């Protein structure tokens, strides 16, 4: 199991270290309140048995009724103490989840923001190499898998360690031999569940890959719906989507079939541990080594240890899935943008003189030569029209001016400075750009029109005055 990719999350653990510390402290206190009632029940059962024996011995005397009353009173006191400890355990369990699970949600929020911010910094070539559906899955599904490691996996792992140490120490203090019989099936249960979860992890990964493929297919289909309708290819795409869904159903059912083995294995081994406790404990009660209350106490300990041990396999599976997802996330987070600002980038306002000096450009994905030895100069305030057939490089020139790509050869200068020396933010906000492909954001028409304007320049207010003025239709319009 390769967990090295999860080291990336450590910086977030440090950021929320006090939440994590308080959460671990709550786990320890909740575990103590889980163990303490077992000791109360042991003492209560032994007290009741001893009290009833004394009552039977005193049945010929009036003392019998007094003893019976004390037994019932003592049992009621023990019952109230058990209820009180259960309520306190519930309180600290609530606080545990409010710290560790909430911490996992906060880290999920931070990680998604980090990924989204990094996506925006990456160059256009990155988006040509990777599908949109895959990008979306990494920031949604993969981050969710990582959150399961940050929250439940860590919480249950800490709970297992603390509960095991506390419970085992208490059990050994009572009877070492009975303790050995009680815990003997538990490692076998963990190994069995680990094996089942290994298969679950593999099939879950296959299911996740198919989900990513299906998401990409759907995204591409609806992005190109106009073309699909224009060529009447709806039925073909419906058939392709049906095949994608069938494969997803097949992988999901395969995962469910293996997952159904989890609880039968766990129940069988729990029952074996309880039977061993009753059998061996009964023998030791008869020879006077332990009391009947100890048997009840050990059965409670078995139930306390069952879920933490059973969760070993599940937690291991969560960690495997999280490691695989974080590796996918790291792959993109470690991708460096090809176009970036340096410490020497100029924070200057662009004036407008553009000069191409023997510029050449080759698209890295396809190797297509778009420009070769292009040279021209446009003075500030002048207009240049570039005409040519499709694929002649017109759009490439505009993309190179805004540094959406960098030239393969030659140099582009703006106001006498190499375009690479400007900060990309200053450069791009100084350019009015109408893309060849129409795209509207899910927003108002006004905000789409004002999309490229800086808020601090007052441009939106001027645009608002123009936008709200009455529209005067001409007497004649030619479209």
The band of 53, judged by pLDDT with boundaries at 50, 70 and 90, is low
Which of 72-86, 318-332, 437-451 has the highest mean predicted lDDT (pLDDT)? Answer: 318-332
- Report how far apart, in Å, the C-alpha atoms of 174 and of each of 33, 182, 291, 298, 372 are: 18, 13, 10, 10, 86
- Report how far apart, in Å, the C-alpha atoms of 100 and of each of 95, 104, 308 are: 9, 6, 17
**Which tens digit of pLDDT belongs to each residue from 339-386?**
777 666 667 677 778 888 898 888 877 778 888 888 888 888 888 888
Smallest CA-to-CA distance from 12 within 111, 152, 115 is with 111
Instruction: Give the pLDDT of residue 475.
Output: 40
Tokens of 211: 């989900």
Instruction: Give the pLDDT of residue 387.
Output: 86
Q: Is the pLDDT of residue 56 over 70?
A: no
Average pLDDT value for residue range 19-29? 91
More confident residue, 2 or 302: 302
CA distance 61 to 59: 5
More confident residue, 473 or 77: 77
Instruction: Give the pLDDT of residue 476.
Output: 39
Contacts 24+ apart (CB under 8 A), 166-175: 166/31, 166/32, 166/35, 167/35, 167/301, 167/304, 167/305, 170/35, 170/38, 170/39, 170/301, 171/298, 171/301, 174/290, 174/294, 174/297, 174/298, 175/284, 175/289, 175/290, 175/294
| Sheet (strand 409-414) strand order | 369-378, 354-362, 409-414, 417-418
Domains of the chain: 4-333 (1.20.1560.10), 342-439 (3.40.50.300), 440-479 (no CATH)
Label residue 388 left, alpha or beta by phi (over 0 means left) and psi (-120 to 50 means alpha).
left
Range in 64-68, 157-161, 173-177, 429-433 the model is least confident about: 64-68
Tokens of 154: 């860590």
**Which tens digit of pLDDT belongs to each residue from 90-141?**
899 899 888 999 999 999 999 999 999 888 888 777 887 777 777 888 888 8
- Report how far apart, in Å, the C-alpha atoms of 334 and of each of 65, 115, 119 are: 79, 11, 11
Q: What is the DSSP string of 333-396?
A: HTPPPSS---TT-B-------EEEEEEEEE-TTT--EEEEEEEEEE-TT--------TTSSHHH
Smallest CA-to-CA distance from 140 within 207, 246, 211 is with 211
**Which tens digit of pLDDT belongs to each residue from 131-175?**
777 788 888 888 988 998 888 888 888 888 888 888 888 888 877
Cα-Cα end-to-end distance for the chain? 65
Report the percentage of the chain scoring pLDDT > 70: 86
CA distance 374 to 406: 14
Average pLDDT value for residue range 412-432? 82
Q: What is the DSSP string of 250-295?
A: HHHHHHHHHHTTHHHHHHHHHHHHHHHHHHHHHHHHHTTSS-HHHH
- Report how far apart, in Å, the C-alpha atoms of 463 and of each of 207, 451, 468 are: 50, 11, 9
Smallest CA-to-CA distance from 175 within 297, 78, 87 is with 297
- pTM of the entire structure? 0.69
CA distance 132 to 337: 17
**Which tens digit of pLDDT belongs to each residue from 173-192?**
877 878 887 777 777 776 77
More confident residue, 352 or 54: 352
């Amino acid at each position: 199991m390769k967990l090295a990719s999860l080291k990336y999350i450590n910086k977030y653990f440090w950021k929320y270290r006090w939440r994590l510390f308080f959460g671990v402290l709550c786990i320890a206190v909740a575990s103590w309140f889980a163990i303490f009632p077992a000791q109360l029940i042991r003492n209560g059962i032994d007290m009741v048995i001893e009290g009833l024996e004394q009552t039977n011995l005193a049945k010929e005397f009036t003392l019998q009724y007094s003893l019976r009353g004390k037994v019932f009173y003592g049992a009621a006191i023990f019952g109230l103490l058990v209820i009180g400890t259960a309520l306190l355990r519930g309180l600290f369990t609530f606080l545990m989840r409010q710290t560790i699970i909430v911490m996992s949600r906060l880290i999920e929020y931070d990680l998604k923001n980090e990924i989204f911010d990094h996506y925006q910094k990456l160059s256009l070539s990155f988006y040509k190499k990777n599908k949109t559906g895959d990008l979306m899955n990494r920031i949604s599904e993969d981050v969710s898998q990582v959150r399961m490691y940050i929250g439940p996996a860590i919480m249950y792992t800490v709970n297992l360690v603390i509960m095991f140490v506390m419970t085992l120490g208490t059990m050994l203090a009572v009877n070492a031999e009975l303790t050995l019989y009680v815990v003997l099936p538990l490692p076998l249960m963990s190994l069995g569940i680990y094996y089942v979860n290994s298969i679950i992890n593999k099939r879950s990964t296959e299911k996740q890959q198919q989900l990513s493929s299906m998401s990409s297919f759907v995204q591409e289909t609806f992005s190109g719906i106009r073309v699909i309708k224009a060529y009447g290819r709806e039925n073909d795409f419906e058939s392709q989507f049906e095949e994608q869904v069938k494969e997803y159903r097949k992988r999901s059912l395969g995962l469910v079939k293996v997952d159904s083995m989890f609880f039968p294995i766990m129940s069988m081994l729990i029952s074996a541990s309880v039977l061993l406790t009753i059998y061996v404990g009964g023998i030791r009660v008869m020879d006077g080594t332990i009391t009947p209350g100890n048997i009840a106490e050990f059965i409670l300990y078995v139930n306390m240890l069952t879920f933490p041990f059973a969760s070993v396999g599940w937690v291991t599976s969560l960690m495997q899935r999280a490691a695989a997802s974080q590796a996918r996330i790291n792959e993109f987070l470690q991708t460096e943008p090809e176009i970036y600002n340096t410490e020497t980038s100029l924070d200057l306002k662009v004036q407008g003189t553009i000069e191409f000096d023997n510029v050449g450009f080759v698209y890295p994905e396809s190797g297509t030569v778009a420009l070769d030895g292009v040279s021209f100069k446009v003075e500030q305030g002048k207009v240049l029209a570039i005409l040519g057939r499709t694929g002649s490089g017109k759009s490439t020139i505009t993309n190179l001016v805004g540094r959406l790509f960098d030239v393969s050869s030659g140099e582009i200068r703006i106001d006498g400075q190499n375009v690479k020396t400007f900060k990309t933010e200053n450069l791009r906000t100084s350019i009015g750009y109408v893309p060849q492909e129409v795209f509207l954001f899910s927003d108002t028409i006004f905000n789409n029109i004002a999309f490229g304007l800086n808020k601090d320049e007052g441009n939106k207010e001027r645009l608002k005055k123009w936008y709200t003025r009455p529209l005067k239709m001409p007497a004649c319009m030619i479209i």
